[in-house]
A and B are shown apart, each in its own frame.
Chain A
């Protein structure tokens, strides 16, 4: 059908689609410019819509959950690396707000087609895909694609529709409701975290295909051109650029190992003896074919590679980048980069997040190591460290929910609850989401960042390893204010849908990013307002989590007991670790810094300051509104760590 389109405010495409997948009804509406202004689009707008519209008792995999795609206000505009698109829903993995984003070309293309956001509800009666070709929007039959791997479905759709369609797909994992399933686009860009693929699969939505030929009007093109040209010129000669272009993020594997933060064999230790086989140099030497970039970016940090393992077909993929290299490499005891790349391809194709996927396989391997699961549970197979064959078989059990594979389909936390025998101690997750590729036992700020991350353990909201190193890795005091600041500045990239690697790692100051935003939108905001809006999003997501999970916030903010019970056994940080008392101290400081009470519940005062009185009322009704703080709330929550901005 041809939908009605609406003119966009500066920086916006103009139209929002609401699609009822159950009935097939497609509505086009003017994009809510007030929502975009007050919540910054992307993650922020998604969080507000989910808070307002999804009932608190809605099953994340049921028809009442929404599945939202938003391209934000900066994506697709005349700026570098404005390439992101965000997805959001109530997460089946954490049972709280979930969002995840990815680069590639889909975000800009959605806006070029005329749409800022697509809000989907219900469940399609049969496998379907969303077809958007400028004004034409349709739900089409996807029966012929259902069951295909993510990496197989994308070329199949391109063959059927045309190369100029940008396509996002899910794989069999999402079709089968594996809770840490991802969405794949551009043959290797993933919205991996919080199980957005599982939600898409629950709605029987196999793919989204978009072609867009329009443009985006910006507020001040001349000003934007001058401002951005200066940034482009400056960053072209930035010393970080050439290493980025050559090696991507995989080259930090060695650094993490030398500095004893790399997770090894399910976070049992932080230093890996076989690092030379899986590090960035090995990737470049053995697997790299060429470099790959997203829309409007010349950093080309993506690495197009192949994995060659004797006895298996040669596979082609994008990656592994750092997180996959760590979590599917050292964390699984793999010794050859081809093994890591193969697992990367395998998880991409079945449609599992390689971070949670790596964490889940590692947890299974440790359970096997400790005799908590045996070959009888594994259809006669072993599950040994370093065995790609064992890992592949285990993944197949999970994807198809065979035997104990069904237990692991919900991630490490749910698997540990089934396995019992204290295995929850080494289920390396917070709020149900598996940790990223850094061990926080000798990087306490990073541990706090995992503990307090609004979507479950994830490095991207706050990454403090270098702050830990600069300030002293054996102390915990003072980290909270840095974590809070980072939790405000970094998610702004996910609101505005621009890439943090470009905008955050090349000495571009936050004020320059805000100036770019102002040239695009005409909003005329300053950095303080940007940070406060991001804080508002953070607090709303916290309230949403408490309203769904109905207990004091502190209850949910603890890492697994390994984090304080087990000292690091080997490597440069041998004997190091945080104590339970230090964990409590960090939480105390964190809550105080946020203006939350000591139970981890936001106070009315801070919610009022953020214009979230409605959320305070809702918390009060369920007895989870934070108690007033004796000394009031801090005037500014969080503190920028200098010299590092991000």
Chain B
């Protein structure tokens, strides 16, 4: 199964995008949670503040389906 992870800021560098400036293609075996996927690709989940899928918020237990794009938002300091 192929999913696409997308991130900016500090997370972008950790994600190592390969599709475009922000996006990495990730191949996974079967359904996995976002937490498990991040662990597989060695991205510290503490550096992910929001998980955004199709305009909606999800949590680390969310299991993406084939072809989905998962946007990861890094934390920033308050205004």
Contacts and interface: CB of A to CB of B under 8 A. Distances in A.
Interface of A: 234, 238-240, 242-243, 247, 249, 251-252, 254-256, 259, 281, 301, 321-323, 326, 436-437, 459-460, 463, 465-466, 469-470, 501, 505-507, 642-644
B23 to A, nearest CB: 8
A243 B73 contact: yes
Contacts of B74: 240, 466
Contact of A321 (B14, B55, B72, B79): B79
A80 to B, nearest CB: 16
B37 interface: no
A323 B52 CA distance: 23
A254 B72 CA distance: 15
A244 to B, nearest CB: 8
Contact of B71 (A234, A239, A459): A239
A463 B77 contact: yes
B75 interface: yes
B46, B52, B73, B78 pick with most chain A CB within 10 angstroms: B78
A599 B12 CA distance: 40
Instruction: Give the bracket for the number of chain B residues in contact with chain A.
Output: 20 to 34
Given A249-B78, A281-B57, A501-B79, A239 B8 contact: yes
B77 to A, nearest CB: 4
B78 A323 contact: yes
Contacts of B6: 239
B49 A252 contact: yes
A239 B12 CA distance: 10
Nearest to B22: A239
B12, B57, B72 pick with most chain A CB within 10 angstroms: B57
A322 B55 contact: no
Contact of A243 (B46, B47, B52): B52
Contacts of B52: 239, 242-243
B56 to A, nearest CB: 10
Contacts of A247: 50
Contacts of A243: 50, 52, 71, 73
A644 B76 CA distance: 11
B13 interface: yes
18 contacts: A234-B21, A238-B22, A239-B72, A239-B73, A243-B52, A249-B78, A252-B76, A255-B75, A259-B46, A301-B79, A321-B79, A437-B78, A463-B77, A501-B76, A507-B8, A507-B12, A642-B13, A644-B9
A102 to B, nearest CB: 10
Interface string B48-79: 01101001010000000000000111111111
Given A239-B73, A506-B9, 15 more contacts: A240-B73, A242-B71, A243-B52, A252-B76, A281-B57, A321-B79, A322-B78, A322-B79, A460-B77, A465-B77, A466-B10, A505-B9, A507-B8, A507-B21, A644-B9
A643 B78 CA distance: 20
B9 A470 contact: no
A456 B72 CA distance: 33
Nearest to A437: B78
A491 to B, nearest CB: 13
Chief secondary structure at chain B's binding surface: mixed
Contacts of B12: 507, 643
Contact of A470 (B8, B44, B78): B44
Given A239-B7, A242-B52, A466 B78 contact: no
Contacts of B75: 252, 255-256, 465-466
Interface in B1-37: 6-10, 12-14, 21-22
Contact of A466 (B7, B21, B47, B72): B47
Contacts of A259: 46
Given A460-B77, A507-B8, A643 B44 contact: no
A427 to B, nearest CB: 21
Nearest to A460: B77
B12 to A, nearest CB: 6
A507 B9 contact: yes
Nearest to A319: B79
B49 A459 contact: no
A240 B8 contact: yes
A460 B74 CA distance: 17
A500 B57 CA distance: 25
A2 B74 CA distance: 50
Contact of A251 (B9, B49, B77): B49
Contact of A643 (B10, B49, B55): B10
Nearest to A260: B46
Contacts of B77: 322, 459-460, 463, 465
Nearest to A102: B79
Nearest to B14: A643
A242 B78 contact: no
A242 B9 contact: no
Contact of B76 (A234, A437, A505): A505
Nearest to B78: A322
Contacts of A238: 8, 22
A436 to B, nearest CB: 7
Contacts of A249: 76, 78-79
**The 4 residue pairs across chains A and B that have the minimum distance between CB atoms:** A322-B78, A643-B13, A463-B77, A255-B49
A252 B78 contact: yes
Nearest to B6: A239
B57 to A, nearest CB: 7
Nearest to A258: B46
B59 to A, nearest CB: 9
A459 to B, nearest CB: 5
A238 B11 CA distance: 13
A470 B76 CA distance: 14
B6 to A, nearest CB: 5
Contacts of A501: 76, 79
B33 to A, nearest CB: 16
A436 B78 CA distance: 9
A252 B49 CA distance: 7
Nearest to A325: B78
A530 B29 CA distance: 49
Nearest to B52: A243
A307 B55 CA distance: 26
A240 B47 CA distance: 14
Contact of B47 (A326, A459, A470): A470
Contacts of B50: 243, 247, 251, 255
